[in-house]
Amino acid sequence: MAVAAPHDRRETARGHSARPHQSQAGFTLIEVLIVLGIIALLATVVTPQVWRYMGQARTETARVQLSAITTAMELYALDNGGYPSQQAGLAAVVRQPQGATRWRGPYLKKAEGLSDPWGRPYGYKTPGRQSPYEVFTLGRDNATGGTGEDQDIVSW
C-alpha cells in the first residue's frame, strides 16, 4: 500500500481536489493603503524638486535659443549690411523681408525657434541699450525683472 505525501493531490470521483481549502494569495487593504501612503509621501517630497529643475531647464533653453537667434542676426547683418529693422523684426531671419535684395537666408531653420520656452515670441528692439539690437524674453511671468524662471534674458 502506497502512502501519499502530505502535498499530493487526491482526486475525487468528480475530478476535484480533495485537499483542504487553501487561503488565497493577495494583499490586504491595510497593505495597499500603506503602500499608497508611502507613494504619496515620496511624491510630495520629489515633485517640488522636479518642477524646480524644469524651470531651470526652460531658462537655459531660452539662453541657447537666444544664442542661435544672435548668430542668425549676425549672418543676416553680414549679407544685408545691417540688422533687420524694427518693422521687419525677427521674422527677417526666417523669411525675406521686403527690400532685402541681398538676403540669402533663411538664417534660422524654423520659425518655432522665434518663440521662447513659455510659448511667447521673443522680443526684438533696435537699437538696443548696449548693442545695435536686443533680442529678449521676459521669462515665465512675462514682466520685467524677476529671478529664477521669471528673470529677463537679453542677448547683449
Tens digits of residue pLDDT in 45-57:
887 777 777 778 8
What average pLDDT score do residues 110-137 get?
Answer: 90
CATH of the domain at 131: 3.30.700.10
Closest CA to 97 of 62, 120, 119, 124: 124
Residue 145 lies in a domain: yes
**Does 74 have pLDDT greater than 90?**
yes
pTM of the model: 0.64
**pLDDT level of residue 111 (50, 70, 90 thresholds):** confident
- Average pLDDT of the chain is 83
Contact call for residues 82 and 100 (beta carbons, < 8 A)? no
Q: Output the pLDDT for position 66.
A: 92
Domain that holds residue 122: 64-154
Overall domain count for the chain: 1
**pLDDT level of residue 84 (50, 70, 90 thresholds):** very high
